[in-house]
Amino acid sequence: MTEALLEVDRLRVEFGDEVAAVRGASLTVARGEVHCLVGESGCGKSVLALAVMNLLARRGRRAAERLRFAGRDLLALPDRAMARLRGDRLAMIFQEPTTSLNPAYTVGSQMIEVLRRHRGAPRAVARDRAVELLGRVGITAPGMRLGQFPHQLSGGLRQRVMIAMALMCEPDLLIADEPTTALDVTVQAQILRLLAGLQRDLGLGILLITHDLGLVARVAHRVSVMYAGEIVESAPTAALFAAPRHPYTRGLLACVPVPGKVRRDQPLGAIPGVVPRLMPGFQGCAFRARCGHAAPECASAVPRRPAGATHDYLCRLPADWVRLEPAA
Amino acid sequence: MTADSVAAVAPAAATPAIDIRAVRRIFRVRDAGRVWDADRAVVAVDDVSLTVPAGGVLGVVGESGCGKSTLARMILGLLAPTAGEIRVAGRHLATLDRRARAALIQPVFQDPYASLNPRRRVGDIVALPLVAHGQITRRDIAARVAEMLTRVGLAPELARRLPGELSGGQRQRVAIARALVLKPSIVVCDEPTSALDVSVQAQILNLLAELRRELNLTYLFISHNLAVVEHVASEVAVMYLGRIVERADTETLFRAPRHPYTKALLASVLTPEPGLGVPDVGLGDTLPDPTAIPAGCRFHPRCPVALEKCRSIAPPVVDGVECHLA
């Protein structure tokens, strides 16, 4: 792959002594790459993103071997410098556009503020840029929209406004946390096409957080599967869907109803139980309590195994176990 | 309660579980900031007729604002139709009182974080319909609650817990237990898995399918997730701006959709197949507005194949499809 834009190496996030939300997660987003981070609620994927942005809640503590963005060490960056970076080179959009836009200000004033604050651009220049971007994200009559308040827009429009706002300063990396989960499928497809187009045209790197494997298959170049604060499998998209190695990844894929694959009324695959909340100092494989392949040795440290040059997974099972297993 | 409302209906075997004729629901809304103007009418459900056979699963799909939840609330008796009639198990909904209705038809809602009282224990939540119904001893109630919890895959000991101590999947199981405790024959599921993770969604869908077979239930299953609907429904109704624009058995609808809107909805499903990219749904940027329903075919502003006549003439319904071109 090309130049690494975001490097996260063995990131740990803990909230007090009770919760280890991210436990040594590593991932790299290359320039111009769409990297998807998938997992169930509570697996730590949003906390990872917030840790990168240095937006953790006050009790949250982050530590990492390496946390670099475009060659800059984010761990050593003072708060003021980080604030300058956020919304400029490094932008983030959230799941629920209703709560992430300020209801008391017009769309225009919120968008214009971004460019004025980061670049000191004159109001007229910032306004032109806002109009241009709203048009670019597929909003008709952008000039009129600038004067509207968030509540006057539909959910799909609000999410487009969020995306346009994130692009005001031409960021290098966009972190999108479940950007389409709250939207209708038809609108979801439009927003995803838009993001894919921007990534192509602007060479934008995207870290896309989602629990929707269908979406992952269609937009990602690379996928990292997260479970209980760890990346349990990471691979190029085609490899992950063709030959998933970690039992958790395989379980997740079996849960998705695929038209034409699982017959009606045949039970879907399901993973019993929920993601555990782990205390700092937890040992062994976090998935073992829900895993059909668990063995006594899973209670001690599990190795990260390669399954190809850019495919690895965290499990005691060898890379060829899938072939030894009868097809599900 | 009495037999007279059933008298005019065909024998029990042929009686559909849900029978809706020409139902319409209009809401009056006031325009924000326009006090001098008269109220505007939102036709949320417009002249909808449908039947669901006993033991069937009708999936209702459509975008937000298409009227699917309004339809569900009318079938549950939570909202009176402005016009038309609804029969449940052969009986006029309007003639049934709350208890009779509750014994026939029950809801499971989308968000188990919002639909369970956070201050009540799980046992009390599941028992409430029984208590409200009366005519049952406390010991029988406890036994019935324990039986229901076991049936939905929860340990009876959970009866003493509060909803806040449960996971999303466990909460939805509690909601299902509460819905089934009065042994209804019909369950209206309004987006029952949309708030859940895929792994939990699969568990809940499996549970609903199992319960339907064992208890011979009829489901009205509302969802925006077409893959889920394909998995659970025997028939599908596609709603657009208050109308059912296509109605077919599940296999036909998914194999050979006929309405352009159905085609667009199906095209927008992101199946986990790498390399296919994100489909171009081709619906444009105009979003449906239920307060300003277009003339002619109400889908024409977004329709990729609209003709001139679609702008002015409302299409007829032929073989369950409401389109000039089908």
- CATH number, domain with residue A281: 3.40.50.300
ipTM of the complex model: 0.81
Q: In the listed set A120, A152, A170, which residue is the last one of a domain according to the structure? A: A170
A139 and A282 in a single domain? The answer is no
Find out whether A176 and A93 touch, Cβ atoms under 8 Å: yes
A14 and A64 in a single domain? The answer is yes
pLDDT at A209 over 60: yes
Backbone angles phi, psi at A103, to 5 degrees: -70, -15
In a domain, A226, yes or no: yes
Residues 6+ apart with CB under 8 A from A284: A298, A299, A300, A301, A302
In a domain, A276, yes or no: yes
A130 and A204 in a single domain? The answer is no
Contact A217 B283 (CB under 8 A): no
Looking at this protein, which amino acid is placed at residue A115? Answer: L
CA A98, A102, A105, A111 torsion-angle sign: negative
pLDDT along chain B (326 residues), means of 10: 43 78 88 59 92 95 89 94 94 92 93 91 96 89 95 94 92 96 95 87 93 95 90 95 95 94 91 88 76 90 93 93 90
In a domain, A44, yes or no: yes
In a domain, A277, yes or no: yes
Asked if the C-beta of A319 comes within 8 angstroms of chain B's C-beta atoms, the answer is no
Phi-psi group of A214: left, alpha or beta (phi > 0 → left; psi -120 to 50 → alpha; rest → beta)? alpha
Asked if the C-beta of A147 comes within 8 angstroms of chain B's C-beta atoms, the answer is no
Residue-range definition of the domain harbouring residue A159: 100-170
> In the A/B pair of chains, how many CB contacts fall below 8 A?
142
Q: In the listed set A113, A136, A170, which residue is the last one of a domain according to the structure? A: A170
In a domain, A94, yes or no: no
Query: Tens digit of pLDDT for each residue in A193-204?
Result: 888 888 888 889
- Cβ atoms within 10 Å of A324's Cβ, excluding its own: 8
Which CA distances in Å does A308 have to A225, A246, A312, B215? 16, 14, 7, 49
Asked if the C-beta of A189 comes within 8 angstroms of chain B's C-beta atoms, the answer is yes
Q: In the listed set A144, A170, A196, which residue is the last one of a domain according to the structure? A: A170
A223 and A312 in a single domain? The answer is yes
A166 and A290 in a single domain? The answer is no
CA distance B71 to B74: 5
Contact A253 B231 (CB under 8 A): no
A268 and A219 in a single domain? The answer is yes
Work out the pLDDT band at A61, boundaries 50, 70, 90.
Answer: very high
**pTM of this prediction?**
0.86
Least confident of A37-41, A244-248, A290-294, B289-293: B289-293
Summary mean pLDDT of chain A: 90
Which pLDDT does position B10 carry in this prediction? 43
Query: Which residues in chain B are contacts of A258 at CB distance < 8 A?
Result: 227, 271-272
In a domain, A239, yes or no: yes
CA distance B247 to B20: 14
A161 and A183 in a single domain? The answer is no
**Chain B 135-164, residues with CB within 8 Å of chain A CB atoms:** none
For B309-325, give one letter per residue: b (16+ CB within 10 A) or e: ebeeeebebeebbbbbe
In a domain, A95, yes or no: no
CA distance A64 to A9: 6
| Total domains present in chain A | 2
A217 and A265 in a single domain? The answer is yes
CA distance B44 to B69: 9
Domains along the sequence of chain B with CATH: 12-322 (3.40.50.300)
CA B216, B217, B222, B223 torsion-angle sign: negative
A85 and A124 in a single domain? The answer is no
In a domain, A25, yes or no: yes
Query: Which residues in chain A are contacts of B210 at CB distance < 8 A?
Result: 267
Query: Tens digit of pLDDT for each residue in A156-204?
Result: 788 889 999 999 999 999 999 998 887 788 888 888 988 888 888 888 9
